Amino acid sequence: MKCLQPWTRRSKQECAADDKDNFMTQPSRQLKLTTAELAGRIGAELIGDGAGVICGINTIQDAGPDEVCFLSSSKFAKRLEETKAAAVMTGAKVDGFDRPQLVVDNVDRALIAIMQMFAPPLKSFEGIHPTAVVEPDAQVDATAAVGPNAYIGHSVTIGAGTVIGPGCSVGENSTIGAGCRLDSNVVVYHNCQIGNGCVIHANTTIGSTGFGYSFIDGRHQLIPHNGGVILEDGVEIGANSCVDRAKFGNTVVGAGTKIDNLVQVAHNVQIGKCCLLAGQTGIAGSTEIGNGVIFAGAAGAVDNIKIGDGAIMGKQTAATRDVPPGQKLLGAIPQEMTHEMRCMSVYQRLPEMSRELKKLTKKVNALEAAKDDTI
Amino acid sequence: MKCLQPWTRRSKQECAADDKDNFMTQPSRQLKLTTAELAGRIGAELIGDGAGVICGINTIQDAGPDEVCFLSSSKFAKRLEETKAAAVMTGAKVDGFDRPQLVVDNVDRALIAIMQMFAPPLKSFEGIHPTAVVEPDAQVDATAAVGPNAYIGHSVTIGAGTVIGPGCSVGENSTIGAGCRLDSNVVVYHNCQIGNGCVIHANTTIGSTGFGYSFIDGRHQLIPHNGGVILEDGVEIGANSCVDRAKFGNTVVGAGTKIDNLVQVAHNVQIGKCCLLAGQTGIAGSTEIGNGVIFAGAAGAVDNIKIGDGAIMGKQTAATRDVPPGQKLLGAIPQEMTHEMRCMSVYQRLPEMSRELKKLTKKVNALEAAKDDTI
Amino acid sequence: MKCLQPWTRRSKQECAADDKDNFMTQPSRQLKLTTAELAGRIGAELIGDGAGVICGINTIQDAGPDEVCFLSSSKFAKRLEETKAAAVMTGAKVDGFDRPQLVVDNVDRALIAIMQMFAPPLKSFEGIHPTAVVEPDAQVDATAAVGPNAYIGHSVTIGAGTVIGPGCSVGENSTIGAGCRLDSNVVVYHNCQIGNGCVIHANTTIGSTGFGYSFIDGRHQLIPHNGGVILEDGVEIGANSCVDRAKFGNTVVGAGTKIDNLVQVAHNVQIGKCCLLAGQTGIAGSTEIGNGVIFAGAAGAVDNIKIGDGAIMGKQTAATRDVPPGQKLLGAIPQEMTHEMRCMSVYQRLPEMSRELKKLTKKVNALEAAKDDTI
């Protein structure tokens, strides 16, 4: 629900500063820190001994004696009794825990920082791989990398620090911003614009033709899709997802919106900023989605509707008409979530209700007959 | 609903003539036409001045002063008051619109024609790219193109004018007809037959093994899939979709059928001609689908059923048993669409009905008690 | 339901022996066997003449006079009257069928054996294709093959007899076991472990980052995913599916589990052995699934729940809370399958029930009014 906070558009400079978070971090191998050093790096208040050595971070259950664990909510504090962790990172001092504690303002923020420190080190591609095919009129920044067997089409522009993975294909006249990562076998069609700091996971397709046909002369004829796709800054898209190009203008995914795996975004859809679309969500053509909207797994929306800022669509719930801002919907014909849950609950008693209704009908008929007798 | 018109099988010659529609059109850059020239090209009746210059086509809302807009239905005529378009293309003269009008018989047909004229110009691949791997016994037509880093397997045949995109892989003994387009990273397995004028979008898989196992000796053992896949002429498939190969014979997609993104067509499915399968639809094994059948988004069918010609499955509706021709189904247990909508409507009043039923039961019990008293 | 049999973990040796079943078989072309030879090969009892020549296997309906057909259940015996097959393979002698019969203990086992004998012959890749890019510190077994334009990253290990298809990409430090097959354009990210005898179909992604964000400083920030993915021995995954990597530890798919096309397995999911996940199923983050669990098409589970051994989720049914072992669930709020079917059936009579309830309410009100009058 955090996503309902007002979205503030960040400046290009702020975006650039954030872009580094989107990269696979490349720390030195076998990083070891004392508890005190770790506290210092994340700005934590250290309670207890700072001399112990920390080699990683893990969950309360799985952390080993050389790892720090983290307490995401005080309601899980009891689980600390069982942990083997060397220390705990927490939002508030835990009473009765006898090992070092790193107390931070925001556990998630510290978690991200520590996980980045201890992320498995990875080599990255540099420059244009000799097996990549880059058309001579494409402009690849000197600090960008193009992986093995990738294809960069005519008039494509690729920004600073961007890494194009093995087997990717970028179509004519598309632009990829700075600090982006396209993982293996991503396909970007022609005339698409991808902003700065975007991440696209493997086997995802951006810019395929939309599903728009007209039945003329005895067959479905494709309406050409002369438009493109715009992914604004900081958009992240999972694996095996699709964003179709527009007929006119552009299909747009707003800044900071995150899309999961196997998601379908149809032609001319307009998605706002800071939305979350979970796995297997599908948005049909020309639908407009506000800022901070959340789609749970396999949710979606029919075509040509508007979904207001901060609305939430529950699992497998496809909006069928305009959704006001902030509304939480659930169900096959989506309705307000708590009402849907009441309906579902009665639904499960339907056979019983049906029997009651029959019994009651009999009784009433008997009463009526009796009344007629008494008259 | 246009799709319910009778499908007439076209001759090879007609198909070949139509194939050109399937290509990304490559008009000269910066095409400019006078309104009169444009009217001439699309066979429109010109009302008003023919001297103005047209550089593109766009929607009523977004058209600029050098673009023509189009009126897809007279009910939107009022929107023309706000347009900046130089002219309007319409099915019937619009009273009170003071700029030139191009009156046509069929707006969609003219729209397709004009959009093709003004489509963004694209370079296309020619010949076999030096980085493509083509097995020596494959036969690639001299007018076909194979893009960078594509792989063409043993004994594959590729027809005239077909373009195989970067990173595609075509398996042994498959045939791709004339005038086809396989976009980047499409995979066609062995022994598949793709007709003429087919389009397959990026990252789609044709001919993967079906999901058919038998539990023998304590484990699921795959039933081999010795069959293949046939896509008949004019089939178009979106991005990241799958069509599995058959155990025996072939999985078939009929001529002119169009399939959207992220669609699953399982082994041995038989799909008729001129069907539409919208995004995220799934058809389970061996199901037979007639001609002109429509599946809305995330719809589908269970295995081993028959769906009659012209049937329509609403959004998220999976047919669970045979569907008669022309039937429109909706719902979790699919039923006739208007009845399902009535059921849904009552469903949303279930908590209220449940309360009413309880109240009524109390009243009836009281009446019965009173009756017993009077006896 | 066969899958509910107890799963017995097989030894490495048994697994290795089974691996060969996972390969596309490569019989000599135009295999011809006498009926007697075929009976001998599959250990069948031959009833009738053994001299006829068999060139293939097919269904009762489609078998030709040089093919054997098979009777999967005695209830289809009547269909044999129409077959053109040279002989029938069956689990029990069919009375009144005048052509040769091959009687076997287990029809499915014999079917698999015969289909493998007559499978279309295919050439396979050998060695490392000159266009493949293999990092110098990767270890590819001498008997493994890497197809055209594939990429094998740093420190990757590939086991004996494994075939990596064209355009695949395997990330740093991942290991692929022996006897595996990765079809074209499969992507395996870094630090993933794939066991022996696994098959992954085209365009599938293993190890993409999970969908885990925290809203900090006005934007969704990715929680790093430092973990990996483990596919145990004998796992098979269809085309265009995704298995996300874990935040900590590993996302695990247990030995012998089979996953269909377009399936989503989210970060940190733990799937047991011998499960079946049909097409378009989606499992949300950190959910634990027992052994022998079955998900029908487009089924799934929300995050952080546990599903017991042998449970079955019906089509489009997403578990929303823990599921006890062996339970069969169906519906939008999943409930026990037979109860859900009763509810669905009443649901379809809701408009009628609603009318009855109204009528009854009127009658009861009238009775009450009459009673008041008589008092």
CB–CB contact A278 C284 (8 Å): yes
pLDDT tens-digit profile of A146-162? 999 999 999 999 999 99
- What's the pLDDT score for residue A16? 37
Using 50, 70 and 90 to split pLDDT, how confident is the model at B375? low
CB–CB contact B112 A214 (8 Å): yes
- What's the pLDDT score for residue A35? 97
- What's the pLDDT score for residue B121? 86
pLDDT tens-digit profile of B84-114? 999 999 999 999 999 999 999 999 999 999 9
pLDDT tens-digit profile of A196-245? 999 999 999 999 999 999 999 999 999 999 999 999 999 999 999 999 99
CB–CB contact B218 C8 (8 Å): yes
- Residues of A with a catalytic annotation lie at 267
Residue of C nearest to B239 (CA): C240
Q: Which residues in chain A touch residue C151, judged by CB atoms under 8 angstroms apart? A: 147-149, 166-167, 184
Task: Kindly report the number of other CB atoms within 10 A of residue B52's CB atom.
Answer: 18
Q: Which residues in chain C touch residue B153, judged by CB atoms under 8 angstroms apart? A: 123
By mean pLDDT, which of A218-232, A327-341, B2-16 is the weakest? B2-16
Evaluate if residue C315 carries a pLDDT over 50: yes
Mean pLDDT of chain B: 91
CB–CB contact C344 B360 (8 Å): no
- Residues of B with a catalytic annotation lie at 267
- What's the pLDDT score for residue A124? 86
Evaluate if residue A371 carries a pLDDT over 90: no
- What's the pLDDT score for residue C322? 97
Percent of chain A with pLDDT over 70: 92
Residue of A nearest to B259 (CA): A211
Residue with tokens 């479905």: A220
**Nearest-CA distance C202 → chain A (Å):** 10
Q: Higher model confidence: residue B25 or residue C88?
A: C88
Percent of chain B with pLDDT over 90: 87
- What's the pLDDT score for residue A27? 35
CB–CB contact A223 B260 (8 Å): no
- What's the pLDDT score for residue C51? 96
pLDDT tens-digit profile of C320-360? 999 999 999 999 889 999 999 999 999 999 999 999 999 99
Q: Rounded distance, CA A72 to CA A61, Å?
A: 13
By three-state DSSP, how is residue A158 classified? strand
- What's the pLDDT score for residue A319? 96
Evaluate if residue B13 carries a pLDDT over 50: no
Residue with tokens 């009833």: C47
C-alpha distance from residue B177 to each of A105, B139, B163, B183, B199 (Å): 63, 12, 10, 15, 11
CB–CB contact A208 B185 (8 Å): no
Q: Which domains does chain C have, with CATH numbers?
A: 33-117 (3.40.1390.10), 189-333 (2.160.10.10)
Using 50, 70 and 90 to split pLDDT, how confident is the model at A375? low
Contacts of A among chains (3+ CB pairs under 8 A): B, C
Q: Tokens for B175, please give them.
A: 């045939």
pLDDT tens-digit profile of B109-147? 999 999 999 998 899 899 999 999 999 999 999 999 999
Interface test with A, best of B347, B352, B371 (most A CBs within 10 A): B347
Mean pLDDT of chain A: 91
Q: What is the mean pLDDT of residues A266-270?
A: 98
Q: What is the mean pLDDT of residues B208-233?
A: 96
Beta bridge partners of C169: C151, C187
pLDDT tens-digit profile of C29-52? 478 999 999 999 999 999 999 999
Whether C256 contacts B220, CB under 8 Å = yes
pLDDT tens-digit profile of B320-353? 999 999 999 999 889 999 999 999 999 999 999 9
Using 50, 70 and 90 to split pLDDT, how confident is the model at A374? low
Whether A185 contacts A204, CB under 8 Å = no
Residue of C nearest to B355 (CA): C357
Percent of chain C with pLDDT over 70: 92
**Which residues lie below 8 Å from residue C38, measured CB to CB, with a gap of 6+?**
C44, C54, C68, C87, C102, C114
Q: What is the 8-class DSSP label of residue B93?
A: P
| ipTM here | 0.90
pLDDT tens-digit profile of B282-294? 999 999 999 999 9
Q: Which residues in chain B touch residue A166, judged by CB atoms under 8 angstroms apart? A: none
Residue of A nearest to C316 (CA): A316
Whether B139 contacts B146, CB under 8 Å = no
- What's the pLDDT score for residue C373? 73
Residue of A nearest to B258 (CA): A220
Rg, C-alpha atoms of chain A: 27
Q: Tokens for C291, please give them.
A: 């052994």
Q: Rounded distance, CA A213 to CA A224, Å?
A: 9
| Concatenated DSSP letters of C238-288 | -TT-EEEPPSSSEEEE-TT-EE-TT-EE-TT-EE-SS-EE-TT-EE-TT-E
Contacts of C among chains (3+ CB pairs under 8 A): A, B
CB–CB contact C166 B220 (8 Å): no
Contacts of B among chains (3+ CB pairs under 8 A): A, C
Interface test with C, best of B248, B341, B353 (most C CBs within 10 A): B248
Residue with tokens 């400019």: B32
Strands (E), A84-156: 87-90, 101-103, 133-134, 139-140, 145-146, 151-152
Q: Which of C154, C201, C267, C339 is catalytic?
A: C267
- What's the pLDDT score for residue C332? 87
Q: Rounded distance, CA C153 to CA C346, Å?
A: 58
Q: Rounded distance, CA C204 to CA A202, Å?
A: 9
What's the distance, CA B236 to chain centroid?
Answer: 7
Query: Angle, nearest 10°, between helix axes C350-374 and A350-374?
Result: 30
Closest partner CB to B166 (pick from A151, A222, A244): A151
Where is A374: in which H helix or E strand? helix A350-374
pLDDT tens-digit profile of C173-218? 999 999 999 999 999 999 999 999 999 999 999 999 999 999 999 9
Using 50, 70 and 90 to split pLDDT, how confident is the model at C220? very high
- What's the pLDDT score for residue C126? 94
Q: Tokens for A61, please give them.
A: 């259950």
CB–CB contact B184 A242 (8 Å): no
| Concatenated DSSP letters of A121-139 | P-----SB-TT-EE-TT-E
Of B273, B282, B275, B327, nearest to B301 (Cα)?
Answer: B282
Closest partner CB to B348 (pick from A223, A333, A349): A333
- What's the pLDDT score for residue C201? 98
Closest partner CB to C218 (pick from A5, A122, A147): A5
Q: Tokens for C204, please give them.
A: 């599938």
Query: What counts of helices (H) and strands (E) characterise chain A?
Result: 5, 39
